[in-house]
């Protein structure tokens, strides 16, 4: 994942720290160099630190109690949750440009070179972890037990690097720690995706119940046909966010669901003996021909043809 702050002067030349080696970032924050291909940083030992906008040539996990507010990801804003993890990968740009101020940060960072993974089973696996992708736009939110477990792993990893010289045996041990860290991250990622799916199901139920209530209370006579913006606001979402959630959960648009719901109501009214004009007025259409047009678009036939069946 990549995050960086909105620039107030997008045309200005930005200060970018090139992190071609894990220790490039470590030196920036004043952390000791423990290995040529791995840097494990305990922020509690080096804070306060200067921020930086980083051009990464390495992989990294930033495991922090609190991240700066109002971060952005590409052109989108991102609120990283407290007690969470942000992942970066080679070729990505992320961080906050140094403005001269110091940040108090609590937590850890671990960065490693792709060279460390060369000809290991982890090398092809890196592409399967979604949280390293540009398209994963959320931080990984840890449970307290996960924070404790990851802190212990990183503390042990740091101690191992401090106590041993570089060797094939040490690199095997470090790769073992990395596998554990990445599997924790993968478990958190899967949990969040499952939670989002459950949340989407709840949103769909609330959306349907809202449409039923809308017509039960006769709001269409005052407000006309229900809109996506109205339904989203009733559920305390922005129209854009609600539309994205609905499309993600169903593959369809929220407005298409509203229109299908309305036309199903219309079929019921027509079958009960109401004519086209009465049905259009009852459902909140301003003009009968608007109703006819939508009915044909949804069903493929006109209301008259439906009645003639």
Whether residue 201 is predicted with pLDDT greater than 80 in this model: the reply is no
Q: What gap in Å lies between CA 251 and CA 244, rounded to an integer?
A: 10
Whether residue 77 is predicted with pLDDT greater than 90 in this model: the reply is no
pLDDT tens readout for residues 99-122: 888 989 899 999 999 999 999 999
Whether residue 148 is predicted with pLDDT greater than 90 in this model: the reply is yes
pTM across the whole model? 0.62
Boundary-marking domain end, from 162, 195, 228: 195
User: How many domains, in total, are found in the chain?
Assistant: 2
pLDDT recorded at residue 157: 97
Q: What gap in Å lies between CA 104 and CA 64, rounded to an integer?
A: 11
**Do 121 and 34 fall into the same domain?**
yes
Whether residue 202 is predicted with pLDDT greater than 90 in this model: the reply is no
Boundary-marking domain end, from 131, 162, 195: 195
Residue 250 inside a domain? The answer is yes
Whether residue 63 is predicted with pLDDT greater than 90 in this model: the reply is yes
Q: What gap in Å lies between CA 61 and CA 106, rounded to an integer?
A: 14
pLDDT tens readout for residues 231-266: 988 988 888 888 888 887 777 899 999 999 999 899
pLDDT recorded at residue 11: 43
Q: What gap in Å lies between CA 182 and CA 96, rounded to an integer?
A: 24
Q: What gap in Å lies between CA 191 and CA 131, rounded to an integer?
A: 13
Question: For the residues 19-23, what does the mean pLDDT come to?
Answer: 95
| CATH number for position 71 | 2.60.120.280
**Do 303 and 251 fall into the same domain?**
yes
Q: Of 237, 164, 165, 178, nearest to 204 (Cα)?
A: 237
Secondary structure of residue 129 in the 3-state scheme: coil
Residue 168 inside a domain? The answer is yes
Whether residue 179 is predicted with pLDDT greater than 90 in this model: the reply is yes
Token pair listed for 18: 């090139």
DSSP per-residue letters across 224-260: -S--HHHHHHHTT--HHHHHHHHHHHHSS-HHHHHHH
Q: What is the mean pLDDT of the chain?
A: 86
Range of the domain at 24: 16-195
pLDDT recorded at residue 278: 94
**Do 246 and 130 fall into the same domain?**
no
């Amino acid at each position: 994942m990549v995050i960086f702050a909105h620039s107030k002067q997008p045309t200005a030349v930005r200060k970018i720290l090139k992190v071609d080696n894990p220790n490039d970032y470590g030196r920036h924050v004043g952390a000791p160099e423990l290995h040529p291909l791995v840097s494990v940083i305990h922020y509690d030992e080096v804070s306060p630190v200067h921020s930086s906008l980083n051009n990464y040539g390495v992989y990294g996990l930033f495991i922090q109690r609190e991240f700066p507010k109002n971060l952005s990801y590409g052109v989108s804003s991102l609120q990283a949750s407290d007690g969470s993890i942000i992942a970066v990968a080679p070729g990505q740009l992320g961080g906050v440009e140094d403005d001269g101020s110091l940040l108090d940060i609590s937590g850890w960072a671990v960065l490693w070179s792709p060279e460390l993974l060369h000809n290991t089973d982890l090398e092809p696996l890196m592409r399967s972890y979604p949280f390293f992708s540009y398209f994963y736009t959320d931080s990984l939110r840890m449970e307290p037990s996960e924070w404790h477990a990851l802190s212990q792993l990183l503390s042990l990893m740091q101690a191992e690097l401090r106590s041993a010289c570089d060797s094939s045996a040490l690199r095997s041990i470090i790769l073992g720690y990395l596998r554990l860290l990445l599997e924790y991250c993968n478990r958190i990622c899967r949990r969040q995706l499952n939670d989002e799916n459950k949340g989407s199901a709840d949103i769909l139920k609330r959306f349907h119940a809202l449409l039923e209530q809308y017509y039960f209370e006769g709001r269409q006579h005052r407000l006309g046909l229900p809109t996506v913006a109205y339904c989203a606001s009733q559920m305390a979402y922005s129209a854009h966010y609600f539309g994205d959630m609905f499309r993600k959960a169903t593959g369809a648009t929220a407005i298409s669901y509203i229109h299908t719901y309305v036309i199903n109501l219309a079929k019921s009214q027509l079958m009960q003996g109401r004519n086209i004009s009465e049905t259009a007025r009852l459902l909140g259409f301003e003009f009968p021909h608007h109703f006819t047009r939508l009915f044909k678009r949804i069903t493929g036939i006109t209301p008259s043809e439906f009645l003639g069946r």
